[in-house]
Structure 1
Amino acid sequence: MKSSLPPGPRLPGFIQTSLYMSRPLHFLKRWSQQHGDTFTVHMTGSGDFVFITSPEDIRRVFTASIDVIYAGESNSLVRPFVGDSSVVVLDGEAHIRSRRQLLPPFQNERMQTYATIMRDVADASLDRWPVGRPFPLLSKMTEIAMELMLRNIFGLEDPREIATFLERFTSVLDEATSPMRVMASFAGLDLYKLLPFLHVSKLKRQLDDSIYELIARRRAAPRDPTRQDVLTLILESKHEDGQAMTDRELRDALVTLIAAGYETSAIGMTFAVERLLAEPWALAKVHEELDRVLGQETIVAEHLPALEYLDAAIKESLRLRPLVPLISRRTKAPFELSRHTLPAETMLIPALVLTHLREDLYPDPERFDPARFLGTKPDPYAWLPFGGGARRCLGMAFAMYEMRMVLATVLRRASLELASNRPVRMVNRHIMLAPSDGAPVVLKARRPKPQTKNSAAA
């Protein structure tokens, strides 16, 4: 089959770009309805983007040879911040080598190690939430998610050091994702190096210095077998040639894990609570399950497998409000989809957010229905909030575990309601879709923490 680009909207490129940038989900839905599973959008200054939505085509992309489909190049806009050795900007064997070294700390069997910290941080945060007046839930979930990353990934324990890292990370990340910096990255420019006198460039250097100082301190410390944080486990791992990771590789890995993990988890938890508050019948089912499984006990890791409805509600929320709505790949050779053969050097966009709204996969797809995920394992090519294939999010198990533990802790103690009758919309936030106005809620009442003693796992 001769290679060619699928049809798409015929509007001038600058109009397509303006429409997409203003209301991406609205126009992607419209173009998908008009052109089907596969369509091409022309972005002024960036070229043609081929969007795909069918599970079959997504499977072809995710299972393709690493010599045919590249992803690292298409993530180059984050390279100035995450670094040249970050797993998200590597391709081929280099990507496999880096991913293999980072994966062990995120295996499912290690999740229980992080459970108590997750519960305690959520409890402590909830104790500070204001009662009786509106506040953006996203801001509270962001604080929880960032502290959990710093404790479980970096292994930080001193509250002052956590506060310092928290301030530096959030300041740099907010600046790093500004439109000017993103546009510069699209053009292949590293403004941190080109304009070292900028405030954000100084902030990044301070952050990097703090990370290198932490790495040096942990390398010099005696081995502590009780430490199970991700940094400790990575420090103890070796490449296949027996070499340990360099300081630069460690720095890039740590920054990548934080940058990719904290905001996505915060948005995912916020939308899950918002969806439950908007559907009181579903929230009632969650509360019934929490009461049945936990009774008067403090929640511990052993309780989580029994929270099946909460898990299904989180998965259904991630279907309707995926953490990252689109991912990108580039073809290095002609590539066959089910109905088209794309030429080499095509920018290919699995539109996960559209796949999640397909009527043939999810009847009445706009409806929130956790029962879709009860007693069944999600199709890895139809449920894609963490991407898929060899580049599926390293932290998927961590994120799902975190969401279950934090939401079980919060929903058990907090009586919440939405602060307004206005629907919470998905709005652009960097490369993600976040809740409008941070999903304002009101904490009507806060129940005390259960005091029942548990097993040593508590």
Structure 2
Amino acid sequence: MQLPNLVKTPSLLQKLQWVSDPIGYMENAAQQYPDIFTARIIGFGDTVVFVNHPQAIQEILTNDRKKFTAVGELNEILQPLLGSYSVLMLEGDRHKRQRKLVAPSFHGERMQAYGQLISNASEKIFSQLPLNKPFFARDLTKEISLQAILQAIFGFHEGEKIQKLRQLLPSFLQLFESPVNSSLFLFSFLQQDLGAWSPWGKFLRVREKIDQFLYTEIAQCKQQHDPERIDILSLLISCRDEAGQAMTDQELRDQLITLILAGYDTTATAMAWGLYWIHKKPLVREKLLQELDSLGDSSDPISISRLPYLTAICNETLRIYPVTMFSFPRVVQEPLELLGHPLEAGTIMLPSIYLTHHREDLYPQPKQFKPERFIERQFSPYEFLPFGGGVRRCMGEALALFEIKLALATVVSHYDLALVEQRLEQPQRRGFNLAPGSGVKMVITGRRMRQESLVKMTTTSIS
């Protein structure tokens, strides 16, 4: 099979580099072959073609099921986490059916109902921190994200149930925080249950506890059906496809765990990056505060989410270190040509979000954090694609952006924060995400009052 720009590093070394330092691996390959190259990595078969040219990405993502198709089986490394009926694992009509059933959960009145919860959770969690005592921002943003996603999915944010999941989910994900443990998914021969002390054994036992929790919630929600409930689980249970069929318990379980894992750690990681960059760049923070203060006391979640500079900060955060490094893989369906390279049927294509976001011709000085990029120019969905694209675009995009904006706005407007260390925060693989390597160590130096409030207090005291 003829493949474009085959990386010449020995196959085993490529695989090891991909596991330990995916950014370094992609950047080194892109220096040799800027637009398209063929890699030998694990997780997608023996070879995969990385693409980061917007024109080529557009052709791939807009030709789903014609020239290119998204095949759920290529995500089989996620099966132990998500299950066989997850929307990420399905393809064709089965994928279309599940996506159609799940998508309404992230739009309309449901989004507005989540807004105040996100703001309240952000304020409450940070209010419990002592002044001038270091903390890791990613730990707190994970707590905010956990409360938001559990409220959205199950409708609860206090009590015994959330406490149980608050213990289970972090321990579940922490098993794969390091690049070494992440390799358990990439190398199937490491998936051996050698007892509760072994990494895979721990994973299986925590997964069993989470499954017990989910199936119990599914059963109780069915028994106590309440048409007034707006949580995602209630919606999924009540949904029917065109044939009048409801989801099975297994399908419900797999969709729930997919939504939890996709909406929890990824969103928390983006929040942590946002706090880092806002406080790494004093002028960015100052400009953001001016915009937030301009809303006055009547600010509401929807108004906050529409602020242009806050939106630009979030977009630049997702550009410079996108939480997900690549879009859903596609498979060539018939012989064709892409960027002048012939591709045979069966070739696996991987649109690289990270490399696209770091193209000099799109984003001059791509290593620099510059929110103004997104005010001065509008990028196409094939130039800026932090949530993927095509029929596999992330369904939770609207909720994730809403949550990131509200959390950052709430924390920054209420607290004076500072980074403990000024050295550049380095991205590191955390499971399947790119997270801040040190977790973003910060301190709260004081509570903040809006400038308008200060002016009112000063005027009152003078008079």
Structures share a fold, TM > 0.5?
yes
Change in CA separation of 1:362 and 1:82 when aligned onto 2, cut-off 3 Å:
same
Partner residue, 2:404:
403
The yes-or-no answer on 1:280 pairing with 2:282 is yes
Distance of aligned partners of 1:222 and 1:48 in 2 relative to their CA distance in 1, 3 Å threshold? closer
Q: Secondary structure at the match of 2:37?
A: strand
**Which of the numbers 24, 30, 41 marks the counterpart of 2:28?**
30
Q: Report the CA distance between 1:109 and its aligned residue.
A: 5.3
Question: Which residue of 2 is the match for residue 437 of structure 1?
Answer: 438
C-alpha RMSD of matched pairs (Å): 2.5
CA contact (8 A) 2:19 2:183 kept: no
Q: Secondary structure at the match of 1:433?
A: strand
* Counterpart Cα distance in 2 of 1:339 and 1:229: 49
More deviation, 168-177/127-136: 168-177
1:455 maps to which residue? none
Which amino acid in structure 2 is aligned with residue 23 of structure 1?
A: D
CA distance 1:48–1:312, change in 2 (3 Å): same
By how many angstroms is 1:302 displaced?
3.7
Aligned residue for 2:292, secondary structure, equals: helix
1:349 partnered with 2:361: no
- Change in Cα spacing, 1:289 to 1:78, as seen in structure 2 (3 Å) is same
Distance (whole Å) between structure 2 residues aligned to residue 17 and residue 324 of structure 1 = 19
Q: Distance in 2 between matches of 1:425 and 1:11?
A: 25
In the alignment, what sits opposite 1:210? 213
Does residue 50 in structure 1 map to residue 49 in structure 2? yes
**Post-superposition shift, 1:85?**
0.4
Between the two proteins, the alignment pairs up a number of residues equal to: 445
CA distance in 1 between counterparts of 2:12 and 2:410 reads 47
What's the CA shift for 1:267? 0.8
CA contact (8 A) 2:274 2:317 kept: yes
Tell whether the 8 Å contact from 1:8 to 1:35 is kept in structure 2 after alignment: no
Percent identity over the alignment?
A: 33
Aligned-pair CA distance for 1:130: 3.1
Counting only pairs closer than 5 Å after superposition, residues 287-366 of structure 1 correspond to structure 2 as: 287-293=289-295, 295-297=296-298, 299-333=299-333, 334-366=335-367
The Cα shift of 1:150 comes to 0.7
**1:163-221 CA-partner distances (Å, limit 9, x unpaired):** 101211222232366767754544557959x6786343222212111111111111111
1:61 and 2:60 aligned: yes
- Does the Cα contact within 8 Å between 1:4 and 1:340 map onto a contact in 2? no
Contact 2:61 2:390 in 1 (8 A): yes
Q: Would the alpha carbon gap of residues 122 and 17 (structure 1) be closer, same or farther in structure 2, given more than 3 Å must change?
A: same
**Does the CA-based 8 Å contact 2:73-2:89 persist in structure 1?**
yes
Distance verdict in 2 for CA 1:185–1:137, change over 3 Å: closer
1:151–1:181 CA distance, 2 compared to 1 (3 A)? same
- 1-side partners of 2:207 and 2:176: how far apart? 9
Partners of 1:172 and 1:22 lie apart in 2 by: 21
Long gaps (5+) in structure 1 = 453-458
Normalised by the length of structure 1, the TM-score is: 0.90
Which residue of structure 2 lines up, in the alignment, with residue 15 of structure 1? 13
* 1:86–1:252 Cα contact (<8 Å) kept: yes
The answer for the alignment partner of 2:90 in structure 1 is 90
Cα deviation digits, residues 86-141 of structure 1 (max 9, x gap):
00111111111111110011125531121111111111111122320221111100
- Displacement of 1:43 in angstroms is 2.9
Could you say if the C-alpha distance between residues 153 and 379 of structure 1 is closer, same or farther in structure 2, counting changes exceeding 3 Å? same
Amino acid at match of 1:128: Q
Match of residue 118 from structure 2: 118
4+ residue runs over 6 A deviation: 177-181, 194-197
Q: Does the 8 Å contact 1:66/1:91 carry over to 2?
A: no
Of residues 38-47 and 125-134 in structure 1, the stretch that sits farther from structure 2 once superposed is 38-47
Runs (5+) with no aligned partner, structure 2: 454-463
Q: CA deviation at 1:429?
A: 1.1
Q: Deviations over 1:293-336 (max 9, x none)?
A: 1x234x42242254211111110111111110123414253343
Question: Tell me, what secondary structure is at the counterpart of 1:445?
Answer: strand
